[in-house]
Structure 1
């Protein structure tokens, strides 16, 4: 049996800049880098030494940086795959979050088609 650990990237520049993420290729903030290191150390305490470890990540900078922190402790190379990216927000990516919020159309309260 295999165990799967799913990790999301910590704080990235798009979070603190208030812009839409998605496929916007932001980097981890200094706090995000520290948190990624803490995540790696936490995983190291849960995964036995000598266990086979495979590491897959989105190819976006913030996730690749997070994977690199984990990879260093486990002595593996992460496999970066664009198919692992989060959802795309299209033309909203990299724009201010309030730009997207102004355009949000809530679904009908009754769940119908409108």
Structure 2
């Protein structure tokens, strides 16, 4: 069987500041660092001593989460911009209220390409177009236990890519996940089915 664990980065400084994330590049908070260690311990138990490959967004909050995991497994991390959070363009780093006052949600007839009213922001299709090829390449590798560290919005598109959902069908798709969550995906060797074993589990974190 092939197991893929998708992790959302733990608490970041921008959460505490009440600022828009996206590509605004802050590191982990003190709690985020502790939660990253707890997440790493849980993954080590789930992997059962198997060799793993670790992939991460190159934004600091994700790469610092991945670094904690890498230390537990004594394995390197491959960082990539393909796994970044959706970019909010000029809103990145602004107070959340700044974005809330300007953001235009996508209408039902234009879920993939709606520009949301923020200069420089990515669309859902923009994110999917970088995530899907990367996930396909990772899953095609022979390693049977892999870990991807990414962001809340991007998690949905990582899962969609793994489940072979066409980009055109992802307009309304959403898998909400808290910081530090672990989603366990598995493909069996016989039927080749891809199952969601657990979704956005945070039971390893202190409340």
TM-score, structure 1 normalization: 0.91
Query: CA shift at 1:105, angstroms?
Result: 2.6
Match of 1:31 in 2: 31
Query: CA shift at 1:3, angstroms?
Result: 0.2
Query: CA shift at 1:99, angstroms?
Result: 0.3
Aligned residues: 110
Structure number with higher helix proportion = 1
Match of 2:84 in 1: 85
Shift in CA distance, 53/96, structure 1 to aligned 2, threshold 3 Å = same
The Cα offsets for residues 53-97 of structure 1, whole Å up to 9 and x where unpaired, read as: 000001111100000000000010100111110100000001111
Whether 1:72 and 2:71 are equivalent positions in the alignment is yes
Shift in CA distance, 77/106, structure 1 to aligned 2, threshold 3 Å = closer
**Considering only CA atoms, is the larger Rg found in Structure 1 or Structure 2?**
1
Shift in CA distance, 47/105, structure 1 to aligned 2, threshold 3 Å = same
TM-score, structure 2 normalization: 0.51
Gaps of at least 5 residues in structure 1 are none
Where 1:6 maps in the other structure, the secondary structure is: strand
Structure number with higher strand proportion = 2
Distance 1:23 1:104 in 2: 16
1:1-114 alignment, distance < 5 Å? 1-49=1-49, 51-107=50-106, 111=108
Pairwise CA RMSD: 1.4
Distance 1:90 1:107 in 2: 16
- The runs of 4+ residues in structure 1 deviating greater than 3 Å are none
Query: CA shift at 1:103, angstroms?
Result: 0.7
